Amino acid sequence: MDLEQLRKTAAEVASREDVKYLVGWKPGTYGYRVAPAFIENADGAAELIFSPLCTANLATYLTLVEELPVPRGQEPDDRKIALMVKGCDSRAVTQLLVEKGIERDEVVIIGCPCPGMIDDCLLAEKYPETEEPAEVKWDGEDFLLIRGGEETKVARDEVLAEKCRLCRYPNPVVSDITLGEEVETWELGEDQGVKEIEGKGVDERAEYWAEQFDKCVRCYSCRNVCPLCYCQDCILDRLNPTWVNRSVNFSENTAFNIARAFHLAGRCIECGECERVCPANIPLGKLNRKLAREVRDKYGFEPGVDPDAEPFQASFKPDDPEDFIL
Ligand code: SF4
Ligand code: SF4
Ligand code: SF4
């Protein structure tokens, strides 16, 4: 994508009277870091970037807006939020529209066709991160790492994020403005993570997840980063009744993770953010993608692709045979 075009378009959008601010990506302060940028005027657009390091899904900021009471005599600020989205991020926005978490006239969606993002942990394993900020560009099929004035070609297969290997929607499924050309979809490999889980017997699966959930430190990062975990009254916070205790132990950790996974079934758009931020390296993607596959295979439903769809967990068919009810 042409950065000049991005910044020009962003400056126009951020200057609009009906836009409060624009959310995009900007360079971080060191190494491979990239940070969210909140742009309130045309000048701010100069810091925006779109690079293979912009892995984070910014759609989560749409529902994190603090809604303070409006002082008497003042009008609420109903201006729109403009948001830069990749394909997976646009699925989160679409799912939020389906669930009425946001309304269509509250957002300006700036679509960024996405050739694939880097897993910065894989990149750091091969090219250890330093304090010096680095830049990464797409270079044909591969990536180009630029730091300290040196350019290094990095093979796509070595550092591509897992979610991108499995991506079926690299182009935004919804947008008001699209930047650059649509990218061609690529051949998808098998989902090895889900295959590995499906290849285990019941006891072996239980043992595997017990080992994983035992590592959970209950930092709630997975929930807080998730664009679809936005209930104001979250079951995981409730004290009366207490569905999940505060204690960090295997039993409560399991309840926490299973509750989250089931609340995301038919809603998770597989952006991989929960796994990316987990400090305990729990493979949450395997769990979410397994549930997503079940929902797809059994009910023919895929979240975040059709803004006119009925929300999966809040709909039913009157002629459902309900064979499972005894
Ligand atoms: S999952 Fe698809 S849209 Fe999302 S970052 Fe990867 S390639 Fe881009
Ligand atoms: S991010 Fe990881 S460690 Fe933190 S609560 Fe979620 S699963 Fe547990
Ligand atoms: S559960 Fe994880 S992968 Fe699914 S939408 Fe939330 S952050 Fe993304």
Angle between the N-to-C axes of helices 250-263 and 202-213, in degrees from 0 to 180, rounded to the nearest 10: 110
Question: Which tokens hold the place of 313?
Answer: 């967990």
pLDDT at position 118: 97
Question: Which tokens hold the place of 168?
Answer: 């079926």
As beta bridge partners, residue 101 has: none
DSSP 77-130: ---EEEEEE-HHHHHHHHHHHHTTSS-GGGEEEEE---S--B-HHHHHHHS---
pLDDT at position 64: 85
Report the separation in Å between the CA atom of 1 and the middle of ligand 2, taken as the mean of its atom positions: 34
pLDDT at position 189: 81
As beta bridge partners, residue 200 has: none
pLDDT at position 68: 84
Report the separation in Å between the CA atom of 105 and the middle of ligand 1, taken as the mean of its atom positions: 25
Q: How far is CA 229 from the centre of its chain?
A: 11
pLDDT at position 170: 97
pLDDT at position 313: 83
pLDDT at position 104: 96
Whose Cα sits closest to atom 2 in ligand 3? 274
Of ligand 3's atoms, which has the minimum distance to the CA of residue 267? 5
Render the burial of 279-304: b for 16+ CB within 10 Å, e for the rest.
Answer: ebebbbbbbbbbbbeebeeeeebbbb
Report the separation in Å between the CA atom of 41 and the middle of ligand 2, taken as the mean of its atom positions: 36
Judge whether 112 and 50 are in contact, CB under 8 Å: yes
Report the separation in Å between the CA atom of 114 and the middle of ligand 1, taken as the mean of its atom positions: 6
Low-confidence ranges of the chain (pLDDT < 50): none
Report the separation in Å between the CA atom of 135 and the middle of ligand 2, taken as the mean of its atom positions: 29
22/84 Cα distance (integer angstroms): 8
For residue 272 and ligand 3, the question of a CB distance below 6 A is answered with: yes
Of ligand 2's atoms, which has the minimum distance to the CA of residue 253? 8
Judge whether 91 and 304 are in contact, CB under 8 Å: yes
Please tell me whether residue 256 adopts helix, strand or coil conformation: helix
Whose Cα sits closest to atom 6 in ligand 1? 164
For residue 24 and ligand 3, the question of a CB distance below 6 A is answered with: no
Residue list, ligand 2 pocket, CB within 6 Å: 216-222, 257, 277-280, 282
For residue 271 and ligand 3, the question of a CB distance below 6 A is answered with: yes
Judge whether 112 and 1 are in contact, CB under 8 Å: yes
Of ligand 2's atoms, which has the minimum distance to the CA of residue 219? 4
The residues, ordered by sequence, that sit 6+ positions from 112 with a Cβ below 8 Å of its Cβ are 1, 6, 50, 84, 85, 86, 172, 178, 179, 180
pLDDT at position 66: 77
Question: Which tokens hold the place of 265?
Answer: 């079934």
